[in-house]
Amino acid sequence: MEKEKFYITTPIFYPSNKLTLGNCYTTIICDTIARFNKMLGKDVFYLTGTDEHGQKIAKVAQDKGMEIKKYLDENILDTKELWKMLHIDYDYFIRTTDEQHEKAIQKIFTELYNRGYIYKGKYSGHYCTPCESFWTEAQLVDGKCPDCGRDVVYQEEEAYFFKLSEFGDKLLKLYEDNPNFLQPTSRVNEMVNNFIKPGLQDLCVSRTTVSWGVPVEFDPKHTIYVWIDALFNYVTALGYGSNNDELFKKYWPADLHLVGKEIVRFHAIIWPALLMALDLPLPKQIFGHGWLLFGGQKLSKSKTAGTTEVIDPRILIPRYGADSVRYILLREIPFGSDGTYSTENYLKHINTDLCNDFGNLVNRTFAMLKKYFNGVVPTPNKQEETQQDVDFINTVENAKTNAINYMKTYDVSKSLTEIFTIFNKANKYIENSTPWELAKSNQEELKNVLYNLLEAIKIGTVLLASFLTEQPSKVLNAYGIEKPSIEDIEKFGSLKSGTVIKEIGVLYPRLDIEKELKELSNL
């Protein structure tokens, strides 16, 4: 049977700075969702990459006194290295300076022109270079960019325009007919009230004053507006507009474009309008996630002077492991809302959740299996099963179902909470069933307790392996599971009696938080 397809994308990143924990957030959630869908048996394609044209990038390279392409090549190596450190398992990394992408963008622009959706006019208005956004006088807030609050520049130039104004009603209908198209729903109100209801304006889609961009094929003194160039990466990466569009035919439309809330309007207004203009199918969902905040601010610097807050993943990963960084980001931002990061909270969660709730549970259970059953999974004795056993099994099954269901709506943090419910209940089950007492008095019940614990750990860890990429696979290897799959956890009780499970070392070493904070502040 042909596998169900699943195509997921991150935004493509501006290589203007070194990436921070904030940027890692989008990529880690996408990676988790991609892995989870693979675990469910789907044929997944996960795309990420870099957005390399435009005024902002040209300026950054210029300020560093570097040739633009050389600057980009170095920066992209650094980005790829970071994704490797975080075990981001993407299927393709697109760069908008790739020849295939640039050629396809030129063709697409010409096609939009030929279809009558692009016309030549004159642009006069304001431009925010850091956001690469055009604004009208009325949209400015106190004369500044309404998105980032920075200065804008007034510009007048000959330019091409995309007839965005024709798409207002079509977009309203799209949101109405497909409530899933844009999530969470609060973002729909934002788009409708702030942008569509006041009236969409035609969008300026070319520049004559920006040379670092893709030239318009039929009028090369114009370069294509960087957001048009960028949005189409989602299809050019699949070969759309090239000689080989097999992947495009296979995976488009995307199941999910996951983006930060500040760029929802590009994805939920401009992108579907462009696709409609080309008669291409629309993505199934745009999800606008919240921000990781640091002291109420969106993170931007790698370290904030005078505090112990470390937000550079390149410092945290070698010290505490990729699992811990993935964990804190997936846990701390309730999906769709903002979340606050602090180094102290991060370190505390390593101790309480990873070290205690998960790591210790595994170590003590495996140690009991060795002590009481010589490391061999016992056969449970259903006749001797207690109400406590039945309740525990039901709780694990419920949490498993919830964890899977939350992932269907991409609610990663709630799903992770359900997985930890399994581990927390397993710890309580140990305390309440006191296996060390059963060892003296009731061998049959001891078999049930140990079997149920091992099965619960297996189920929780198969689920967890999409979120955390280091220690869970070590645990699963002990069970003989190389590649976690839904089939391993379909029904409680699939763990085979007689399986030999060897003890594994400490999964997450306990941290002395005071000491760590002190050391980090001295870095």
Interaction site with ligand MSP (CB under 6 A): 11-14, 22-23, 25-26, 51, 230-231, 233, 259-260, 262-263, 291-292, 298-299
CB of 187 to ligand MSP, least distance (A): 13
- Nearest to 389, CA basis, from 491, 460, 462, 493: 493
CB of 291 to ligand MSP, least distance (A): 4
| Residues in Cβ contact with 387 at an 8 Å cutoff, skipping those fewer than 6 apart | none
Angstrom distance (rounded) from CA 224 to CA 231: 12
Angstrom distance (rounded) from CA 187 to CA 67: 39
Angstrom distance (rounded) from CA 472 to CA 319: 18
Number of Cβ within a 10 Å radius of residue 427: 17
- Nearest to 306, CA basis, from 521, 89, 77, 154: 521
CB of 262 to ligand MSP, least distance (A): 6
Give whichever of 150 and 496 is closer to ligand MSP, judged by the CB atom: 150
Token pair recorded at residue 145:
């960019």
Give whichever of 259 and 362 is closer to ligand MSP, judged by the CB atom: 259
Give whichever of 210 and 299 is closer to ligand MSP, judged by the CB atom: 299
Angstrom distance (rounded) from CA 308 to CA 415: 30
Paired residues of 500 in beta bridges:
376
CB of 288 to ligand MSP, least distance (A): 9
Strands laid side by side in the 43-50 sheet? 92-95, 43-50, 5-9, 256-260, 286-289, 182-183
Strands laid side by side in the 118-128 sheet? 133-135, 118-128, 153-162, 203-204
CB of 20 to ligand MSP, least distance (A): 7
Give whichever of 229 and 323 is closer to ligand MSP, judged by the CB atom: 229
Give whichever of 26 and 433 is closer to ligand MSP, judged by the CB atom: 26
- Nearest to 425, CA basis, from 440, 403, 441: 403
Paired residues of 182 in beta bridges:
286
CB of 296 to ligand MSP, least distance (A): 12
User: In 57-180, which ranges are E strands?
Assistant: 92-95, 118-128, 133-135, 153-162
Distance of CA 320 to the CA centre of its chain: 20
Chain residue at closest Cβ approach to ligand MSP: 260
Give whichever of 17 and 124 is closer to ligand MSP, judged by the CB atom: 17
CB of 421 to ligand MSP, least distance (A): 26
Give whichever of 95 and 425 is closer to ligand MSP, judged by the CB atom: 95
End-to-end Cα spacing for the chain: 54
CB of 52 to ligand MSP, least distance (A): 9
Rg (CA), the chain: 26
Give whichever of 283 and 484 is closer to ligand MSP, judged by the CB atom: 283
Is there a contact between 166 and 199 (Cβ–Cβ < 8 Å)? no
Give whichever of 262 and 384 is closer to ligand MSP, judged by the CB atom: 262
CB of 57 to ligand MSP, least distance (A): 10
CB of 171 to ligand MSP, least distance (A): 18
Give whichever of 162 and 392 is closer to ligand MSP, judged by the CB atom: 162
